[in-house]
Amino acid sequence: MIKQILTMLAISAATPSFGQDAFKRNDIYLEAGGNGLFGSVNYERQLTKQPGIGARIGVGFYTEDTFYLTIPVGINYLFKLKKERSFIDAGLGVTWVRVDGKLFERCYVSSREHFVDFVPSIGYRRHTLRNVMWRVSFTPFANKYTALPWLGASIGKRF
């Protein structure tokens, strides 16, 4: 009798979860532009069990005449849209930048200097049925040298 009761409890506890898509809370993605400024690899974790607040960290680099190392860190909030698995992605981030040489055309940075960019963002995010995440964002940035409008595009895997 006890085995039957325990079996029934186990079945009734598991049944509600069968028809549901589990919300994947982790993303790893490549970003062109965006918070990493040039290009970056990022990890993001949703801090809630449903779309809501999340945190991200990444690392990026760029080299032309000089070498740039970037470390973007930020928080974001996913606002669910009516279309399933579509979101407005709003966030605020900071990006630590290490640079040797010239930064853009109008600003000169002495060698081996570092600074911080402040990067607000707003964009559209989509999660596919195959656990792919993609996003396009407007990500202007400001630092002690300049403020510029900027864009970003991301694609990655959800798990």
pLDDT computed for residue 135 by the predictor: 98
Q: d(Cα 121, Cα 126) in Å, to the nearest integer?
A: 16
pTM, two decimals, is: 0.78
Within 13 Å of residue 157, how many CA atoms lie on the same side as its CB? 1
Other beta carbons within 10 angstroms of residue 44's beta carbon come to 22
pLDDT computed for residue 77 by the predictor: 98
Q: d(Cα 155, Cα 93) in Å, to the nearest integer?
A: 19
Domain boundaries, the chain: 26-158
pLDDT digits 0-9 by tens, 59-99: 998 887 788 899 999 999 999 999 999 999 999 999 999 88
In the predicted model, residues of the chain with pLDDT beneath 50 are 16-19, 103-105
Both structure tokens of 89? 């992605």
CB of 81 closer than 8 Å to CB of 49: no
CB of 62 closer than 8 Å to CB of 37: yes
Other beta carbons within 10 angstroms of residue 80's beta carbon come to 13
CB of 142 closer than 8 Å to CB of 93: no
Q: Would you state the CATH architecture of domain 26-158?
A: Beta Barrel (2.40)
Torsion region of 3: left, alpha or beta (phi above 0 gives left; psi -120 to 50 gives alpha): alpha
Handedness of CA 7, 10, 16, 22 (dihedral sign): negative
pLDDT computed for residue 65 by the predictor: 77
pLDDT computed for residue 27 by the predictor: 97
* Element (DSSP H or E) covering residue 15: helix 2-18
pLDDT computed for residue 17 by the predictor: 47
Torsion region of 12: left, alpha or beta (phi above 0 gives left; psi -120 to 50 gives alpha): alpha
pLDDT computed for residue 19 by the predictor: 47
